[in-house]
Structure 1
Amino acid sequence: MQFQIDNMTCGGCVRRVTAAVQSVDSAATVTANVGEHRVDIQSTSTQQVFLAALESVGYPAKPVV
């Protein structure tokens, strides 16, 4: 699943986003593209749990379809 995170602008942001994702699913794979403000998550967890986790750490996300 892929998300647009407009305020993900640096490596520190990527680390916080990755930590939020892995707090939900420690086995999740996170690939971030800071330039496009996108993150790709490989996981068996649902999109909703990641949206909530990202929102809670200050990185509101929108699903990319």
Structure 2
Amino acid sequence: MINLTIPKMACGGCAKSITKTVLDIDANAQVETDPTTKKVLITSHIDESIFRTALSTAGYPADPK
């Protein structure tokens, strides 16, 4: 499981964009988003760095670990 904090996730629209970005990489991934806490949980076999890069490119960079 990948646990990320996305400071720029402010609303449900942001959460949908983040979910779409993750699912574009792994259509079988499970994604949970919470705009209130700015947390994203991803269950996938794909490496975390791939998701971090894609989310950053989409305008939603994750906080560094």
**Pair in the same fold by TM > 0.5:** yes
- Is 1:5 the counterpart of 2:3 in the alignment? no
Percent identity of the aligned residues? 34
TM-score w.r.t. structure 2 length? 0.92
TM, length-normalised to structure 1: 0.92
**Length, aligned pairs only:** 64
| Structure 1 runs not aligned, ≥5 long | none
Task: Say which SS state the counterpart of residue 62 (structure 1) adopts.
Answer: coil
Moved over 4 A (4+): none
Q: What is the aligned partner in structure 2 of residue 61 from structure 1?
A: 62
The corresponding residue for 1:24 is 25
RMSD: 1.1
